[in-house]
Structure 1
Amino acid sequence: MACGVHTVSRRHFALQSSIVVTQPEHLSMEFERHIIEAGPPTDQGLEPYRPVSTGIDLKMLLEIIRRSVRELAGIAVFGVCLMVLFLLVAPKSYTATGSIILDSRQPKLFNIDGVLASADANQDNIDTQIELLRSPRIAERVLDLMAERGIALPKITSSESVSPVQPVDVGVTAQSTGKMPDPRLIDALGRRLKIERKGRSLLVNVMYSDTDAVRAAGIANAFMDGYISDQLRSRSAATQVNGRVLKERVDELRKELVDAENQIQKYKSDNDIVELGALTLTQQEIANHEQELAKVRAEAAQADARVGPVGSMANELARDTAQGQVKILEAQLNELKAKLQKSSAKLLKLDELRRDADALKATYVGLLNRLRETQAQESAISSDAQIVNYAVPPADPSFPKRTLMLAAALIASLLIGATKIIIRELVRGRIYSVVDVERIFGMQPLAKIPLLPGLRFNPLRAGEQGFFNMDSSGKFEQAAFSIRRWAEAVSTPRNAIVAVVSDNTGDGRSTIASALAFSAARSGRKTLLADADFRDRGLTRALADGTGVSLEQAGADDASLIVARLGERLPDFCGAILRDTDSPLDVLDSPEIAAFLNKARETYQLTVIDTAAMGQYIDAGAIIDLVDGVLVILKSGITTQAAAEDIMKQLAVSDSKPIAVVLNGVPAHENGLFDYSLENLWGALRSRIEKLKKRARAAVSSAS
């Protein structure tokens, strides 16, 4: 570094966060279009840096979303616009809904539950009935009903094709083959059908979706009617089958019963068994003899009583006659009983034959009654299902549901956008806001510099009009005051040297160093602005016009420092002059640099040194140990967290010095979600238009 006497001519300069050399003969320095917004003066930054552990937390994620709210809003708007386009081109679908009770529990006219057991089993399983409603058999019945009612068949789309190998004709119908319904039509009907059971109840909603509301209602009703007609047809077929089975069995039993009766008659004839009602002839004769015997015995007893001790001959004759009849009847009765005893085995066999015949007769009568009930049931069959409400053509489409889909698109866009932004920012790992600085470094930035257009710095008029001739708000003055108060705290109780460092060129390091020096000089402090950036030498090119003496001369000279006088109430300037035989590290690590800084500390109340980018060169490390404080510049959206931590670790390795952080280039909306006023927007647009005009004029002049 060297200092030379140089008088700066009256030319206007524009200060920018990085030095831009436009023409060799008109070197200037531009600050980025900034205003520095800072709070009240603070002594912050006097404590040495202590690393703070970093991690992903909710506050960090919310901060990422907050600072990217405009991008997130743009993604959401884009997603909603895509959904609006989809809603405009998407075909409308109408869903017609009908209600049916699959088991109405209606009382039966006839008790034939055993005969129709298969139908009753379906009534106890609603899920089975729902699957039956979805079955191809019902779909075929629906196609028949649609043909009967004149309902147009739905068209088949390629996604509804059963066979992806064969091409699909969207105009194919159920009658295309002439033999059976096209399976693709049946599949299409099943895809658009929805069966929904209401809780655990027996009520089921039958819903069908179609691009035509009338056809949707017609097909939904056809499904319900087709299900009921199929159930009636199934019941009728079951009844007819059971009727035929019963009739065949009744005929068989009738024949068996006739054979049994004939067998009984033949047995009676072969064994001379004559029956009078419920008794055989022998049994009837025995009964008659017993009655006659009882009567004769009574008469004999009366005749014996009339004879007495002295009876007449007539009485004795009557008694003897009666007693003779009793003996005859007793003999005949004994003979009949003996005969009955001999025929008892034959009677037992006859009773067995008769019981078998009676059993056949009872079975025959029972089945005959059931056959008659079954025949009567055929004309009175009813379905266990009952239609509650027929479907009507819906007035509004069921798809697309505009409000729901727009809300879903908005939510999905926000989620996708938030995920994209968070992943991107975590991968980038850059510093954007005050929250990032606090989270990583455990300290608040001394000032934050939002990026706003329309403000330019005039260094030659800074002493008279301030730093920004368009800064009517005074925000820059407040920020410069805060930075200067920090520098004054560093210099207490002696003169101080402050180094301004950053990670990369273009972070605003030279801008902030110049701003600090000009602010201190304007407040009346004797200030020196020195350029130690031997790589870029931006300040030297802008303010010293390339003249000066070598570092060895400046360090070895015992006289006062020779510097460039910029003007009244402006800082002095010492540029970076490098001989061809020297390297930047040789100069910065030489004894002359220490002698130069000692002279500057003795002569000036505040010395501000602009250094080379620490992320690209290690030059700043050679001069850090010789200064009294360090001002770290972090560029919002540019400086990475890893780079900032590396800078702070390098500073922590050296002797503990007061450190302050300035966050540069913060977007204006960091002060609020939507902080752009119409005036600022118009100013940015006007500035952009002026730039385009200048480029156009330059292109025209170069072409000519």
Structure 2
Amino acid sequence: MNWVPEQPNRNGSLSLRAHYEARNLGILTAIWRRRRVIAILLATALVGAGAVCLSLRDRYTAEAILQVDLGRPVSVQPGQPAQNVAPDTGAIVESEARVIRSRAVARRVVADLDLVNDPAFTGRSLLDRLAWWRAEPAGPDPDAAERIAGALASGLTVTNDSRSYLITVAYTAGDPVRAARIANAFVDAYLGSRLDMGVANAERAGSWLDGQIKASRAELETAEAAIEGYRQRTGLVEGGTASISLPQQALRDATVQLGAATQNRTAAEARLARAQEIFRSGGVPSAQDLAGAPVIQRMLENVETAKREVAAQLLTGPRHPRYLQAKAALEDAEQRLREEVDRAVDNLKSEVRTAATEEEALTARVAGLKAEVIEAMGSEAKLRGLQANATAIRERLKLLGDAHAQALALAAMKSSTAQVVMRAQSPIAPSGPLRALYIGLAVAGAGALGIGYALLMGRRDTGFRSGSELAEDTALRCLGMVPDISTASGAGEIRMFDEAIRLVAASLGWPRATGAPRVLLVASSVPDEGKSLVCMALAKLLAARGTRTLVIDATGARPASPTSRMPSLEDAVLGDQAAFFAGARDHAVTVLHGRGRATAQDFYLSDAFERFMDGAREAFDLVLIEAPPAMLVLDFVPLAHVADAAILAVRWASTPRKTVLATLQRLQDLSVRVRGLVLTRVDLDQHRHEPFADQCSHYHRYRSFFEGGAPSAAEASAGAAAARAGLPRPGKRASAERTPAEARFPDARPAEKAAEPNPPGPRSAGPKVAEPRQAVAVRAP
């Protein structure tokens, strides 16, 4: 349905407003077209709902209100005391409501009210009465209590508001007194079950706590005995004393000494590293890093003095005694310097080794003292652990005693978590059934069903309903729309039928237009399309105007009668054709019926049939050929080749669009040119509600014009010509035994029903069949 119309408006743009208006009008038209079905559904729903509402009994609802008291403990958890913790109030109230709706509470109500012996609940249900093959139980029904509990649960309604602590318990029954009694019974059963459950929980908690207390006392005695035995084995009097033991003091002193030794070793290694670095660079370490630093300093000065002396004596020559003496003094000073440096470095290394040895000794001592301290501390820790275990057992024993005392108190109090705010009273006014609502829903459902059916049927491919619609989809013009007439048709409808036939004749150019066909083929897609009626109506109309017409029935559906004065088509073609044409000169309309389709193709392709058609062109003013259905047989092909033009009869709102389009495509493929289409058997009463403006749209509005108008001059001349031809006067009703169509056209017969058309399917746009442009082999008149 969401398509945009392809035709532009006068301004050349798409008219969406017109599109949606047309779519809405189409929906309303589809609903109006099925108004009788919708009315029947509404009436049926109204009557059915009224009957059901009259058969329903009044129902009464009694309500009782409970309030959940969250100030009391809801339950006692074994092993834990009651604590003031903020509960989830909504969840608690909902939980209590579910308890009321439970089957256990319903069973208690059955037992409290002794409903098993109540006749109102012990009667057999409707299903049991309908099951006649089931034998009635001889004794008491063992499942009666469960069945009655289920019936009570179906009539119970429990509601709660998440914003309050109130619970509403309502029960619906046919008797107001019974409704109030059962609602109060549910409240009492709930309160009783909660009391019993609280007492049972308290008793179970007390029993469990008693056992736990006994076990804890035994465990405490075992822990105290273990502490005493450990003290005797280890000699410890108290665990966790504040005094410091001798091993711990020795460990502390040894740790301090180890730290000092580590510092001494580190300092000696640092002095050694600095001295070696300074010696490599040619300097002298400080007195803090090296004890012999002043001596080495003097030796360095002696070396420098010796070097200057060697440099001063170098001018005397390398072999001069003074130079050699100065050089020897320099080497001696350097030798003594190296020996002194080596001696200083060895001293520093000796200090490092001494500090490392002292550190290792202290490390071993600290490790031994640590082992002694750890052993002593383990004994104390174990003693403290035994003491802590005993303390925890004493505290748990105290908590269990408090919880046991509280459970005994709750069991003696027999408290409940809810209280009755208002008990149920017998209602005066019934709460149901809602008869107006049921009737409204039934009517609304029936209306929706009817509208849905109307829209669904409107979307089906029910065929063409207007000439403009037919021309738009097929690209061929509609020659006319022939109304459907029956025994109930009046003079106006018959006059409308005559006007439609005249329009078809005028569209074809008869009787005097240039280029009007003399041999016309009337075809259809499927049987029962109204070809016979159109052919006979055209023949009668043209005969009344003085046109001699030959009607050839090539469908074979109605063979010629043996008692008929006219021969069959086969006899006329294969017999003496000249004698037949001579005998037909006295008749304004001559009708020939074929015997059948057994040899139809060979017969219509024979030379005898071509000679017959040549003679018919000369003997008659007009030849109308009623062709077989184009979608069923191919007999129309040779008939189309001997015709000047062809028209296609389409039944109004019946022949599927896709069938018509397929027929036109088939005719085009076989080089058969279609002059136009005729929409037959139009229902004038239904067509007036269609959103179209065509030749049949104004009949009901101007019906008086067709019913009271005098016959036109053409009809008067047609009547005179018919009187001369011995035919009934056009527009005059025939005998009552025949339908109007048969009375006006006695040679017209219902189309064959051997092959019914396909049922209308969903509307298919299909390819539009244009007029074929191929050359058609047509015999010239």
The TM-score, its normalising length taken from structure 2, stands at: 0.48
Equivalent position of 1:632 in the other structure:
648
SS in structure 2 of the partner of residue 137 of structure 1? helix
8 Å Cα contact 2:501-2:538 kept in structure 1: yes
RMSD: 6.3
Q: Is 1:474 the counterpart of 2:508 in the alignment?
A: no
For residue 536 of structure 2, what is the amino acid of its counterpart?
S
Q: Which residue, out of 136, 147, 153, partners 2:103?
A: 136
Distance 1:579 1:136 in 2: 83
Q: Is 1:146 the counterpart of 2:113 in the alignment?
A: yes
8 Å Cα contact 1:76-1:413 kept in structure 2: yes
For residue 628 of structure 1, what is the amino acid of its counterpart?
D
For residue 121 of structure 2, what is the amino acid of its counterpart?
P
Distance 1:372 1:449 in 2: 101
For residue 663 of structure 1, what is the amino acid of its counterpart?
T
Equivalent position of 1:313 in the other structure:
none
8 Å Cα contact 2:202-2:407 kept in structure 1: no
Residues 444-472 of structure 1 show CA distances to partners (whole Å, capped at 9, x for unaligned) of 8544445454368xxxxxxxxxxx8x347
Stretch of structure 1 that moved more, 508-517 or 58-67: 58-67
Task: Quote the offset at 1:366 in angstroms.
Answer: 11
Task: Quote the offset at 1:529 in angstroms.
Answer: 4.0
Equivalent position of 2:532 in the other structure:
510
Task: Quote the offset at 1:69 in angstroms.
Answer: 4.7
Residues 57-89 of structure 1 show CA distances to partners (whole Å, capped at 9, x for unaligned) of 999999887655534544554455555554455
Q: Which residue, out of 421, 424, 429, partners 1:390?
A: 424
For residue 190 of structure 2, what is the amino acid of its counterpart?
Y
Distance 2:161 2:510 in 1: 78
Task: Quote the offset at 1:108 in angstroms.
Answer: 8.3
8 Å Cα contact 1:632-1:660 kept in structure 2: yes
Distance 2:434 2:470 in 1: 47
8 Å Cα contact 1:96-1:391 kept in structure 2: no
Distance 1:412 1:134 in 2: 36
Equivalent position of 2:180 in the other structure:
217
Equivalent position of 1:192 in the other structure:
155
Distance 1:547 1:250 in 2: 122
Task: Quote the offset at 1:660 in angstroms.
Answer: 0.8
Residues 22-42 of structure 1 show CA distances to partners (whole Å, capped at 9, x for unaligned) of xxxxxxxxxxxxxxxxxxxxx
8 Å Cα contact 2:525-2:660 kept in structure 1: yes
Distance 2:514 2:559 in 1: 32
Q: Which residue, out of 415, 420, 437, partners 2:449?
A: 415
Distance 2:152 2:138 in 1: 15
Distance 2:403 2:526 in 1: 107
Distance 1:664 1:145 in 2: 78
8 Å Cα contact 1:529-1:608 kept in structure 2: yes
For residue 647 of structure 2, what is the amino acid of its counterpart?
L
Given the superposition, is the C-alpha separation of residues 657 and 188 from structure 1 closer, same or farther in structure 2, using an over 3 Å criterion? closer
Equivalent position of 1:96 in the other structure:
61
SS in structure 2 of the partner of residue 154 of structure 1? helix
For residue 107 of structure 2, what is the amino acid of its counterpart?
E
Task: Quote the offset at 1:419 in angstroms.
Answer: 6.2
Distance 1:153 1:658 in 2: 82
Distance 2:678 2:631 in 1: 16
Distance 2:67 2:477 in 1: 72
Distance 2:425 2:492 in 1: 73
Equivalent position of 2:681 in the other structure:
664
Distance 1:408 1:391 in 2: 34
Equivalent position of 2:624 in the other structure:
608
Residues 425-452 of structure 1 show CA distances to partners (whole Å, capped at 9, x for unaligned) of 97xx764744996797466854444545
Aligned-residue sequence identity (percent) comes to 15
Which of these two proteins has the greater Rg computed from alpha carbons? 2
SS in structure 2 of the partner of residue 494 of structure 1? coil
Where do 1:27-176 residues align within 5 Å? 67-71=33-37, 73-74=39-40, 77-78=43-44, 81-89=47-55, 91-92=56-57, 94=59, 96=61, 98=63, 100=65, 103-106=68-71, 124-147=91-114, 154-155=121-122, 157-158=124-125
Where do 1:144-293 residues align within 5 Å? 144-147=111-114, 154-155=121-122, 157-158=124-125, 182-198=145-161, 203-238=166-201
Where do 1:444-523 residues align within 5 Å? 446-454=479-487, 470-471=491-492, 474-488=495-509, 493-496=514-517, 497-503=519-525, 506-522=528-544
Q: Which residue, out of 553, 574, 593, partners 2:590?
A: 574
Distance 1:134 1:160 in 2: 25
Given the superposition, is the C-alpha separation of residues 368 and 513 from structure 1 closer, same or farther in structure 2, using an over 3 Å criterion? closer
For residue 625 of structure 1, what is the amino acid of its counterpart?
H
8 Å Cα contact 1:495-1:604 kept in structure 2: no
Distance 1:443 1:230 in 2: 87
Task: Quote the offset at 1:590 in angstroms.
Answer: 3.5
8 Å Cα contact 1:209-1:216 kept in structure 2: yes
Distance 1:594 1:481 in 2: 30
Distance 2:603 2:77 in 1: 116
SS in structure 2 of the partner of residue 575 of structure 1? strand
Task: Quote the offset at 1:137 in angstroms.
Answer: 2.5
For residue 61 of structure 2, what is the amino acid of its counterpart?
A
8 Å Cα contact 1:528-1:600 kept in structure 2: no
Gaps of 5+ in 2: 1-22, 218-386, 691-696, 704-732, 739-781
SS in structure 1 of the partner of residue 150 of structure 2? helix
Given the superposition, is the C-alpha separation of residues 521 and 471 from structure 1 closer, same or farther in structure 2, using an over 3 Å criterion? farther
Distance 2:214 2:581 in 1: 143
Residues 108-133 of structure 1 show CA distances to partners (whole Å, capped at 9, x for unaligned) of 89x99965689998964444333322
Distance 2:456 2:398 in 1: 87
Distance 2:581 2:144 in 1: 109
Residues 480-527 of structure 1 show CA distances to partners (whole Å, capped at 9, x for unaligned) of 2321232128985323132222355554222111222333455x4745
SS in structure 2 of the partner of residue 225 of structure 1? helix
Distance 1:504 1:447 in 2: 19
Task: Quote the offset at 1:668 in angstroms.
Answer: 3.4
SS in structure 1 of the partner of residue 121 of structure 2? coil
Residues 174-220 of structure 1 show CA distances to partners (whole Å, capped at 9, x for unaligned) of xx77xx98222223322333434556765544343434343233323
Q: Is 1:655 the counterpart of 2:655 in the alignment?
A: no
For residue 231 of structure 1, what is the amino acid of its counterpart?
R
Equivalent position of 2:713 in the other structure:
none
Given the superposition, is the C-alpha separation of residues 126 and 365 from structure 1 closer, same or farther in structure 2, using an over 3 Å criterion? closer
SS in structure 2 of the partner of residue 576 of structure 1? strand
Given the superposition, is the C-alpha separation of residues 510 and 372 from structure 1 closer, same or farther in structure 2, using an over 3 Å criterion? closer
8 Å Cα contact 2:109-2:185 kept in structure 1: yes
Distance 2:214 2:555 in 1: 124
Equivalent position of 2:708 in the other structure:
none
Q: Which residue, out of 581, 588, 605, partners 1:589?
A: 605
User: Whose RCO is larger (CA < 8 A, sep 6+)?
Assistant: 1
The TM-score, its normalising length taken from structure 1, stands at: 0.53
Distance 1:603 1:200 in 2: 102
8 Å Cα contact 1:564-1:574 kept in structure 2: no
8 Å Cα contact 1:556-1:592 kept in structure 2: no
Equivalent position of 2:552 in the other structure:
531
